[in-house]
Amino acid sequence: MSAIDDLPPLREVITTHGLSARKSLGQNFLLDLNLTAKIARRAGELSDCDILEIGPGPGGLTRGLLAEGARKVLAIEKDERCMPALAEIADAYPGQLEVINGDALEIDPLSHLTPPIRVAANLPYNVGTELLVRWLTPKQWPPYWQSLTLMFQREVAERIIATPGSKAYGRLALLAQWRADAKIVMTLPPEAFSPPPKVHSAVVHLTALPEPRYPADPAILSRLVAAAFNQRRKMLRGSLKGQAPDIEDRLLSAGIKPTDRAEQVGLEQFCALARTFEKD
Q: What is the mean pLDDT of the chain?
A: 94
Partnered with residue 186 across adjacent β-strands are: 203
pLDDT per position as a tens digit, 172-206: 999 999 999 999 999 999 998 888 889 999 999 99
DSSP strand pairing (97-101 vs 72-77): parallel
CA 197 to CA 29: how far, in whole Å? 10
Residue 52: its pLDDT value, please? 98
Give residue 120's pLDDT: 98
Tens-place pLDDT, residues 73-128: 999 999 999 999 999 999 999 999 999 999 999 999 999 999 999 999 998 878 89
Helices then strands, counting H and E runs in the chain, come out as 11, 9
pLDDT, average across residues 38-67: 96
Bridge partners of 98, per DSSP, are 74
Q: What is the pLDDT of residue 4?
A: 85
- pLDDT tens profile 134-160: 999 998 999 999 999 999 999 999 999
Residue 2 has pLDDT above 60, yes or no: no
d(CA 54, CA 51) in angstroms, rounded, equals 10
The Cα–Cα gap between 188 and 186 comes to 7
- Separation of alpha carbons 254 and 215, rounded Å: 13
pLDDT at 1 exceeding the cut of 70:
no
Cα–Cα distance for residue pair 1/255, rounded to 1 Å: 61
Cα separation, 172 vs 88, in Å, equals 37
pTM, two decimals, is 0.94
- Residue 274's contacts (CB-CB under 8 Å, 6 or more residues apart) are 216, 217, 220, 221, 224
CB 66 within 8 A of CB 120: no
- What does the pLDDT read at residue 103? 94
Query: Per-residue DSSP letters for 105-141?
Result: TT--GGGG--SSEEEEEE--TTTHHHHHHHHHS-SSS
Instruction: Give 251's DSSP letter.
Output: H
Question: Phi and psi (nearest 5°) for 259?
Answer: -85, -5
pLDDT tens, 232-266? 889 999 999 999 999 999 999 999 999 999 999 99
pLDDT score of 232: 86
Q: How many CB atoms lie within 10 A of CB 74?
A: 21
SS3 label, residue 202: strand
